[in-house]
Structure 1
Amino acid sequence: MLGINVVWCRLRQGVLCVLLLCLISAAQAVSLPAAAVASQQAQKPANEAATHEPTIEEKKAAWLALATILENDESRQALIKQLREAAASPSTTDEPALTPPVAAEEQEDKTVLQSITDVTREYSGQFAGSFIRLYHNIISAPQKAFNKATFFNALNHFLMLAVALFAFYWAIRMLVTPLYRHMGHWGRKKSNQPGSWLHLPLTIIGAFAIDLLLLALALFVGQILSNNLNAGSRTIAYQQGLFLNAFALIEFFKTVLRMIFCPRFPELRPFSFNDVRARYWHTRLSWLSGVIGYGLLVVVPIVSNRVNVQTGALVNVIIMGLMTGWALWLIFHNRRSIQRELIALSERSLSFFTLFIRAFAFVWHWIASAYFIVLFFFSIFNPGGSLKFMMSATVRSLVIIGLGAVVSGMLTRWISKTITLSPELRRNYPELQKRVNGWISFMLKAARILTVFAVLLLLLNAWQLFDLWYWLTVGAGEQLVDVLIRVFMILLFSAVGWTLLASLIESRLSSDIHGRPMPSARTRTLLTLFRNALAVVISTITIMILLSEIGVNIAPLLAGAGALGLAVSFGSQTLVKDIITGIFIQFENGMNTGDLVTIGPLTGTVERMSIRSVGVRQDTGAYHIIPWSSITTFANFVRGIGSFVANYDVDRSEDSDRANAALRSAVAELMAREDIHAFIIGEPNFAGLVGLTERAFTVRVSITTQPLKQWTVRFALDELVKKHFDAAGIKAPRQTVQVVPSGDGGTDAAAIKSLPAPE
């Protein structure tokens, strides 16, 4: 910092020496290297510094010193500020003095309120200094003798040029009137045809280009007329040159107004104004811009030059005061009607523009009022330059907003469209089309947001509130653009990788409706778990890389994640056990989604399997979540085959051969049923008489079925067995003891009697 202060002192003294040399030699400008060369004269006497020519080494040293100053943002801004203050000081004051900035360690810490106060004081000082300079210019301006003959002679030549130029411009515009009308009809006719929405905008742009060519032709003819109507007088030529410059600027602005409102050719009107409103605003804005433009660019300079500066300043204030008052009256007189039209326009516009148009509808009058008030104050200090700046900024703002609206509208329309892949791709990758359209929609929305951001920056740059080029090439904008490009590339690669991998997994998970065999339940379960794990991994890596790209130090995050994982591992042993057990069960193909299982006392269908637990739905509708670690044994009814053993009790008095024959006939009828036979694997196994009691004996048959079909076959067999047993007169065992209650409500042992055996 001390080295910068030394360089600053040398540069300050050099700049003062150069200013003194410029005043003596009456040079028109001083280059930066020349200013830096004089910084080497700071340690020499003043009289020697004024006459000594710097050597090559001194010049190089001064250039290095100046480069060091300009390389630092703070020192450069401080130098520009002090140079502006020195240039703005009145001529009657002392010699301007430049002071180096205070070192950072010598500055006191300022609060936010003090900083705001300093900024306010700085801009208010600049505003007050502008009034002081205007006052000194008016008071110290030289008085000129008014020559009536010269004034009216110049006025006659000026009016001849103005009348001739306006007449020629009006005539050539009238000649192309049929062309405009034909272009409007053709553009509207084409726009009504499907798929021809681009013809009308191109027609409007073509009409605007023709209008600009006519303006250029009029300026060319006006320059020729000026060369022949200046009577060889430099004063008349100067005044006519002022008029031609004002004509070019004002008529260009009117050309833009004609493109927007187009009062004579409604077919070429880009916006839905009615004819009355279009003529109303076109006429008033044209008069407003014409009076202000020709008044500030022609009348005020001529009066200041031919009469005196005081009169010119007074004319400037009168013109701008009247026009500003009229503009404010127009704004607030039409505030409600324009607000209603903007709200109606927002309802007809795309959903993306609705919010912007509605917000503008409620503040447009304040923005327009601020525009004319700022123009009024600017015109007091710099009549010609302020109008050129305001009109240039206005036209650039309209172009920027128009291009931004076109780009945003095209992006909004593209967002609503979808890409259709070929049938082959859709068959092989069922979810690929949905994912591609989702990513494209996301990218288009991001591009639309960037478009709005770019429009805001361009608008600020157009009004010189923000140096966009410096911000993009030297300032933080360069880093921001670099970060945005990196972020975009990272997101693009992540999206492409996830889309491809997920599409491949989902292709394996697709059912046989696409002509491919249905994957097994184990495959579906494992692929689903792998897809979820892949999503977590890709998301985590992408987030970490993005945080690193935007400047976040992820080393503490990784260290913290490691420490957190260690702490969690001690407190989540059961969770780890769940995960490990679930992984082994999956690899052993113990159960899959859709299987009928029995886990402990629960029997139900597996509906969900995660890396930590399994979800089982009972036939009662109850849903159970069972951690893997709590499963010690389980039964799966869907592993290869299903089977059942059917036992039927028959009364002891029945003939066993006849009972077995009835059972075989029932099974034979079961095997003959087509809807049941497809479920049975192999032949039924008859075990004969397998149990005998004092009241009954048991016959048995066992059948092997397809998985989960044993209950269907068993229920059908039970129905047929009852049918055949009833037909054969085979009876089930009956109770042989009857308990008869006594009269007093008790049980009398004598009342217990044996029933006769069934015959």
Structure 2
Amino acid sequence: MPWIVLLLVSVFSFSAQAVSLPAAAVAASSTHTSQATSPEPDAEKKKAAYAALADVLENEKSRNELISQLRQASTTPANKATPAITPPVEEEEEKTVLENVTEVSRHYGGEFSSRFAQLYRNITGAPHKAFNQKTFLNALTHFTMLAVSVFAFYWTLRACAIPLYRKMGEWGRRKNTNRANWLQLPVMIVLAFIIDLALLALTLFLGQLFIDLMNAGSRTIARQQGLFLNAFALIEFFKAILRLIFCPRVPTLRPFGISDASARYWNTRLSGLSSLIGYGLLVAVPIISAQINVQTGALANVVIMLTITLWALWLIFHNKREIQQDLIQLADRSLAFFSLFIRAFALVWHWIASAYFIVLFFFSLFDPGNSLKFMMGASLKSLAIISVAAFISGVLSRWLQKTITLSPEVQRNYPMLQKRINGWLSVSLKLARILTVCVAVMLLLNAWGLFDFWQWITRGAGEKTVDILIRILLILFFSAVGWTLLASLIESRLASDFHGRPMPSARTRTLLTLFRNALAVIISTITVMIVLSEIGVNIAPLLAGAGALGLAVSFGSQTLVKDIITGIFIQFENGMNTGDLVTIGPLTGTVERMSIRSVGVRQDTGAYHIIPWSSITTFANFVRGIGSFVANYDVDRHEDTEKANRALHAAVEELMEREDIRMLVIGEPNFAGIVGLTNTAFTIRVTFTTQPLKQWTVRFALDGMVKKHFDLAGVRPPVQTVQMVQPAPDAAQAARAQDAAMGGNGGVLPPADPKV
């Protein structure tokens, strides 16, 4: 029985190495007949089975699954089919970053060493081929005839097209002077590039005809001429791109602000570099390998690529500072978003360019035929990706500078809606711009074979990441829309009466402001929680912790809770509002601020007091419905009562004739007559009912008017009298005073003054 289990394990050990159950274990539950006829495994299979079974038992999950399947099979009734034992599914172990780096380094290191070994074998161990001078000269003659014919025809076509290019450039520049006609010049530049490609296509067509006429009936010559024509197409296409960028002979079609000298310099050198690379790798090396031998072709490949690499590195570092300054100047003229990338590129461009040619050098050593195609393809893809990403980012940056303007009616009804929409739009455009940069970076890595973008985005982590991002964006979108709608509705109720709308009461403004703040907190909290749950964070502990924290805070801040509850009820009862004149305890002042916890009151002295709601037991509000005051005036007791009353009535009547005062008084004044009597004066009274907070204005005006009419009528105010009482001196003081007076005359009283 044990060897049967080993056999079953060994069968599956080749497909599931670590934690897989051998598929042949199904035989363990089969009949004894099949067990008896099973062949005896050899020693190697037994060893592999031992190792596989050890791996199965070592993994806890697979071991438990195997035990459960075996117990289920052992308890199956005899009249039922024995269930098949399936191998546990192996879970892929997640590798660390260090393990991934090690694996990639080991893979490419092995590939690198094998390619070097292959190159060494090509140079030293490839069989020699006899050199046939006659065949070589014949092929060279026909090859030269084709090359001269193709170049002559192509250069003639391009020379004939130069006047057309100049006219197109002049027309586009002339139209471009008007900002409304900005599209004409780009159209002319693209049209010139298309014409250049059309001339190249016509030359290739004619070149194919030349090959049919100039191959001397030899397939070898035709194949070599085909190599030249392919290289010509590739190189001239790259040169067409260079002419699109630099345009040395027609400056009016140059899309960038490059001087004529710089344009000719770089166009000449990059064209020469591309010709040397293309014709050297795609034409010279294959022909030398075919006509002479592989060793000579390999050496020629090394010499050509070494020359190209050294020349490119010299050009790069010779012009490093100049290009860096040009890039910085371009960054100064660019938008802020592009300026950051251009400045960063200006610091490292020479290292990127050097790495490009070094990689091309090594690729050409390993695979001369496909290295240039790969590099050219990757370069064109990179250029296209960068161009499209820059265009999209530029459009988004342009949109960022624009704002949406709503109609005056909408702005009147929803004052903050336009600002809020523009704010959300700005954030969305910035996010889209960041996503564009991220996608462009991944596509660049995909173009160079460093990252499989399409496989990543359609399966595994990429698909999950995209799904999470879409969900998060939808959550943020609906949260923003909900907050914008609700906040706009609240702010529409808080709108002032600039356009004839009724001004909401102070109570309404306070309650709506508190509700808006609470709504912002609730929506933000819910959004954050949902986003955290979408990215895989377990929010259950956060909710439990928030509940426990809330309970602890509620016990530790009972006064705060009391303040909040009291404040809410005061607001609902419309006890006070911002701008009311109130008396709270010993303080009297104007309410300047009301929050959910406290009220801010400023006294007429300028002192500002913050009073918690819970400390307010009673308060007086002077702005509730009406204002009133009682004016008492004291008159001398000896004055005529009727004269005093007539003077008071006259003062009130003149006061009520003033329009600015009459509009502040509610109803008519009430004269109470004499309301007080003392030994020196009597008091007459008049009462007024006014609009809220206007009682002092009316009172001050009334006092001035009463003073005026009392003076005209001769009504005197009460006379201030002071009664002075001098205490009598005691007997001792009187005797001493008398002795002192008599002592001066010998005890005789002085004679009386005759005048007295």
Q: Normalised by the size of structure 1, how large is the TM-score?
A: 0.82
Match of 2:14?
9
Match of 2:685?
700
2:122 and 2:298 in contact (8 A); partners too? no
- Describe the shift of the 1:266–1:4 C-alpha distance in structure 2 as closer, same or farther (beyond 3 A): farther
Q: Does 1:558 align with 2:557?
A: no
1:253 and 1:395 in contact (8 A); partners too? no
Match of 1:323?
308
Q: Distance in 2 between matches of 1:8 and 1:438?
A: 61
CA-to-partner distance for each residue in 1:632-655, whole Å, 9 max, x for gaps? 111111111111111122233333
For the residue of structure 2 that corresponds to 1:499, the secondary structure is helix
Q: Does 1:188 align with 2:192?
A: no
CA-to-partner distance for each residue in 1:240-297, whole Å, 9 max, x for gaps? 1111111111111111111111111212211110111111100100000111111011
- Describe the shift of the 1:384–1:232 C-alpha distance in structure 2 as closer, same or farther (beyond 3 A): same
Identity %: 72
- Describe the shift of the 1:531–1:110 C-alpha distance in structure 2 as closer, same or farther (beyond 3 A): closer
Match of 1:414?
399
Q: Offset of 1:312 from its aligned partner? A: 0.9
| Consecutive unaligned residues in structure 1, runs of 5 or more | 13-41, 46-102, 743-747, 749-759
Q: Does 1:570 align with 2:555?
A: yes
For the residue of structure 2 that corresponds to 1:686, the secondary structure is strand
Which of 405, 417, 423 is residue 438 of structure 1 equivalent to? 423
1:288 and 1:323 in contact (8 A); partners too? yes
Q: Distance in 2 between matches of 1:741 and 1:387?
A: 130
Which of 114, 123, 135 is residue 150 of structure 1 equivalent to? 135
Aligned-partner residue type, residue 158 of structure 1: F
Which of 352, 357, 362 is residue 337 of structure 2 equivalent to? 352
For the residue of structure 1 that corresponds to 2:666, the secondary structure is strand
Q: Does 127-136 or 637-646 show the bigger shift? A: 127-136
Q: How does 1:235-634 map to 2 (within 5 A)?
A: 235-634=220-619
Aligned-partner residue type, residue 499 of structure 1: T
Question: Number of residues paired by the alignment?
Answer: 654
Q: Offset of 1:179 from its aligned partner? A: 2.6
Match of 1:731?
716
Aligned-partner residue type, residue 677 of structure 2: L
1:704 and 1:710 in contact (8 A); partners too? yes
Q: Distance in 2 between matches of 1:511 and 1:10?
A: 77
For the residue of structure 1 that corresponds to 2:129, the secondary structure is coil
- Describe the shift of the 1:740–1:451 C-alpha distance in structure 2 as closer, same or farther (beyond 3 A): farther
CA-to-partner distance for each residue in 1:296-346, whole Å, 9 max, x for gaps? 111011111111111111111111111211111111111111111111111
CA-to-partner distance for each residue in 1:675-724, whole Å, 9 max, x for gaps? 11100000001111111222322221110000111111111111112222
Match of 1:675?
660
Q: Offset of 1:135 from its aligned partner? A: 1.0
- Describe the shift of the 1:201–1:570 C-alpha distance in structure 2 as closer, same or farther (beyond 3 A): same
Q: Offset of 1:556 from its aligned partner? A: 1.5
- Describe the shift of the 1:5–1:152 C-alpha distance in structure 2 as closer, same or farther (beyond 3 A): farther
**What is the RMSD of the two structures over their aligned residues, measured on CA atoms?**
2.7
- Describe the shift of the 1:491–1:395 C-alpha distance in structure 2 as closer, same or farther (beyond 3 A): same
1:339 and 1:362 in contact (8 A); partners too? yes
Q: Does 1:159 align with 2:144?
A: yes
Q: Distance in 1 between matches of 2:189 and 2:233?
A: 21
Q: Distance in 1 between matches of 2:370 and 2:511?
A: 74
Q: Normalised by the size of structure 2, how large is the TM-score?
A: 0.82
- Describe the shift of the 1:498–1:216 C-alpha distance in structure 2 as closer, same or farther (beyond 3 A): same
| Consecutive unaligned residues in structure 2, runs of 5 or more | 1-5, 18-38, 43-89, 728-732, 734-756
Match of 2:632?
647
Aligned-partner residue type, residue 9 of structure 1: F
- Describe the shift of the 1:629–1:486 C-alpha distance in structure 2 as closer, same or farther (beyond 3 A): same
Q: Distance in 2 between matches of 1:342 and 1:505?
A: 50
Match of 1:755?
none
Match of 1:684?
669
Match of 1:233?
218
Q: Distance in 2 between matches of 1:170 and 1:701?
A: 113
CA-to-partner distance for each residue in 1:173-214, whole Å, 9 max, x for gaps? 222223322222232233322333333323322222222222
CA-to-partner distance for each residue in 1:404-447, whole Å, 9 max, x for gaps? 11111111111010111122212222221111111111111111
Match of 2:182?
197
- Describe the shift of the 1:344–1:740 C-alpha distance in structure 2 as closer, same or farther (beyond 3 A): farther
Q: Distance in 1 between matches of 2:358 and 2:685?
A: 106
1:169 and 1:215 in contact (8 A); partners too? yes
2:632 and 2:685 in contact (8 A); partners too? yes
Q: Distance in 1 between matches of 2:41 and 2:136?
A: 54
- Describe the shift of the 1:741–1:252 C-alpha distance in structure 2 as closer, same or farther (beyond 3 A): farther
Q: Distance in 1 between matches of 2:683 and 2:674?
A: 6
Q: Distance in 1 between matches of 2:283 and 2:725?
A: 133
CA-to-partner distance for each residue in 1:35-83, whole Å, 9 max, x for gaps? xxxxxxx9999xxxxxxxxxxxxxxxxxxxxxxxxxxxxxxxxxxxxxx
Q: Distance in 1 between matches of 2:687 and 2:182?
A: 77
CA-to-partner distance for each residue in 1:591-624, whole Å, 9 max, x for gaps? 1122111111111222222222222222222222
Q: Distance in 1 between matches of 2:467 and 2:95?
A: 34
Q: Distance in 2 between matches of 1:113 and 1:611?
A: 54
Q: Does 170-179 or 151-160 show the bigger shift? A: 170-179
- Describe the shift of the 1:537–1:461 C-alpha distance in structure 2 as closer, same or farther (beyond 3 A): same
Q: Does 1:637 align with 2:637?
A: no
Q: Distance in 2 between matches of 1:147 and 1:413?
A: 66
2:415 and 2:492 in contact (8 A); partners too? yes
Aligned-partner residue type, residue 112 of structure 2: F
Q: Distance in 2 between matches of 1:147 and 1:170?
A: 34
Q: Distance in 1 between matches of 2:10 and 2:671?
A: 112
CA-to-partner distance for each residue in 1:140-185, whole Å, 9 max, x for gaps? 2121100001111111111111111111111222222233222222
Aligned-partner residue type, residue 654 of structure 1: E
Runs of at least 4 residues of structure 1 off by over 3 A?
2-8, 42-45, 109-126, 738-742
- Describe the shift of the 1:307–1:738 C-alpha distance in structure 2 as closer, same or farther (beyond 3 A): farther
- Describe the shift of the 1:140–1:581 C-alpha distance in structure 2 as closer, same or farther (beyond 3 A): same
- Describe the shift of the 1:11–1:163 C-alpha distance in structure 2 as closer, same or farther (beyond 3 A): farther
For the residue of structure 1 that corresponds to 2:462, the secondary structure is helix
For the residue of structure 2 that corresponds to 1:439, the secondary structure is helix
Query: Which of these two proteins has the greater Rg computed from alpha carbons?
Result: 2
Aligned-partner residue type, residue 198 of structure 2: L
For the residue of structure 1 that corresponds to 2:463, the secondary structure is helix
Match of 1:25?
none
For the residue of structure 2 that corresponds to 1:445, the secondary structure is helix
For the residue of structure 1 that corresponds to 2:692, the secondary structure is coil
Q: How does 1:113-124 map to 2 (within 5 A)?
A: 120-124=105-109
Match of 2:28?
none
